[in-house]
Amino acid sequence: MRGKNNLAAFFSPSSIALVGASVSPGKISGVILESLMNSFSGALYPVNPRYGEVMGLKCYPSIEAIGSPIDLAVYALGAEAIPGAVLEAGRNVKGAIVVSGGFAETGPKGAEIEKALKEAARAAGVRVIGPNCMGIYDTVSGLDTFFIPKERVRRPESGGLSIISQSGSFAVTAMDELATDGIGVARVVSYGNKSDVDEADCLDFLADDPETKAIAIYIESIQDGRRFVEAASRCSARKPVMAVKVGKGASGISAARSHTGAIAGRYEIYKAAFRKAGIIELDGYEDFLVACKALGLTTGGAGKRIMIITDGGGMGVNIADACEEMGLSVPALPEEVSDELRSLFPEYFTIGNPLDLTGSATDESFALALSKTMSGDFYDMVIVAALWGPPALTDNLPGMLAQKPGFTEKPIIACTPGGAYSRERIRLFHEAGLPAFSTPEAAVRAAAVLSKAGVRR
């Protein structure tokens, strides 16, 4: 049943049945139905023997009663009812997403139900995502089984990043952060207990998916290490693949076991597997988000040489420190560049790397500094740390930087620490296509990820 091409039912379904559809919009199935009615343009069939109609759609007593085969069935029933429902649907369904909990993650009784689900799926010849998961949020197909209302968790717009995650809450939270920050995604898959479809299956699909430009993976445990490394290697040869593995220390491992019934295993083994598979290793939640923002908006740089341009001397020093701590270099300005800058700028600007434009900075001085330092082959990436105190700085700055005066490829990372005024400016950078971060450390972490993503190519 394994193979790289049989996940199409999940990622480009033309028909969806929602099993356990409910007339109550607050329930899990109600949230899913509402989302699908808004975003999915294919055929949509609520299934529940108790209702003739749900939210204005005709409701069917069973999948069989729909009368034609269905690409995807989404199950929102109590755990115990699911194996039977999957068996009953039989070959009328290609793919099943089981969002319900109450399986192996709850103990021996749930593990028995999960075993029955696997057997039912095998008998019916259906692939399964879940159980105990959020399912799929997909801006390409319009599928959205994430059962949390949009008021609480925003949905990202269309973009080139795909996220696959064992933890539903991790996927949900990352999606919400990216949506709030204006970063788009292609596909987000939460597979929970992964009774069938796992990260390797998803990687097989995403490797060939033209909509997916970069992939971020959240891992608690991997069962089949060899298959994972094969799939990830194939994928990372085509696009950047990044992964965070949680459950590293003793407490984390024990917590991960409780969470999805998984044995987390020694972290060193994962590190080695990541290296072998060409996966960029991420440290934890913060690093995961930074990486998603960076590769959701830009592509990798070709090396580790960082130029720092700022209007706040202290912030520049902090960024230089963080670069060295994270294995990046901050080479001094070449003499010809510093001579030219000295002739162009007032004498109280600090000409060096970091380059400090002081409180007299203007949009134009930032753009000029960018052009003069980045047009030669001296640096691979630039971190522009703009504090918004200087009165001459305007909201045109992000757009002026994004023109990349004098160069084309090298990534620009913005850093704009501060309160309300600065935080609102982050979105302006994102709209201009430049990843922007609230702290020096996050900006440097982004540079480190981009440098790894670029070197990989």
Q: Which of 222, 294, 315, 449 binds a second copy (CB under 8 A)?
A: 315
Q: Does 255 bind a second copy (CB under 8 A)?
A: yes
Closer to a second copy by CB, 60 or 345: give it.
345
Q: Does 330 bind a second copy (CB under 8 A)?
A: yes
Pairwise CA distance, residues 281 & 270, whole Å = 9
Question: Whose structure tokens read 């960018």?
Answer: 370
The distance of Cα 361 from the centroid of its chain, to the nearest Å, equals 35
Residues 336-365 that bind a second copy (CB under 8 A): 347-348, 350, 352-354, 356, 358-359
Residues 404-443 that bind a second copy (CB under 8 A): 417-423, 439-442
Closer to a second copy by CB, 239 or 305: give it.
305
Pairwise CA distance, residues 450 & 162, whole Å = 16
Question: Whose structure tokens read 């900006």?
Answer: 443
Give the range of 35-43, 52-60, 256-264, 291-299 binding a second copy by CB under 8 A. 256-264
State the Rg of the chain over Cα. 25
Q: At its nearest, how many Å lie between a second copy and the CB of residue 418?
A: 4
Identify any residues that bridge with 54 across adjacent strands, giving them in sequence order: 57
Does residue 260 contact residue 219 with C-beta atoms inside 8 Å? Answer: no
* Closest to 447 (Cα-Cα) out of 371, 353, 384: 384
Q: For residue 359, which phi and psi values (nearest 5 degrees)? A: -65, -5
DSSP 329: B
Q: At its nearest, how many Å lie between a second copy and the CB of residue 307?
A: 11
Q: Which of 196, 220, 363, 380 binds a second copy (CB under 8 A)?
A: 220
Closer to a second copy by CB, 89 or 355: give it.
355
Identify any residues that bridge with 18 across adjacent strands, giving them in sequence order: 46, 74
Residues 369-408 that bind a second copy (CB under 8 A): 387-389, 391
Q: Which of 101, 142, 303, 406 binds a second copy (CB under 8 A)?
A: 101
Q: Which of 14, 254, 394, 396 binds a second copy (CB under 8 A)?
A: 254
Closer to a second copy by CB, 236 or 373: give it.
373
Size of the site for a second copy (CB under 8 A): 88
Q: Does 248 bind a second copy (CB under 8 A)?
A: yes
Does residue 70 contact residue 62 with C-beta atoms inside 8 Å? Answer: no
Closer to a second copy by CB, 324 or 431: give it.
324
Q: Does 199 bind a second copy (CB under 8 A)?
A: no
Q: Does 176 bind a second copy (CB under 8 A)?
A: yes
Long-range contacts of 428-434 (CB under 8 A, 24+ apart): 428/395, 428/397, 428/398, 428/399, 429/398, 430/181, 430/182, 430/183, 430/297, 431/182, 431/398, 432/398, 432/399, 432/401, 432/402, 433/297, 433/298, 433/402, 434/297, 434/298, 434/398, 434/401, 434/402
Angle at 303 between CA 301 and CA 306, to 5 degrees: 85
Closer to a second copy by CB, 339 or 409: give it.
339
DSSP 26: T
Give the range of 137-145, 162-170, 193-201, 269-277 binding a second copy by CB under 8 A. 162-170
Give the contact letters, 123-152, x = binds to a second copy (CB under 8 A), - = no.
-------------------------xx-xx
Q: Does 320 bind a second copy (CB under 8 A)?
A: yes
Q: Does 106 bind a second copy (CB under 8 A)?
A: yes
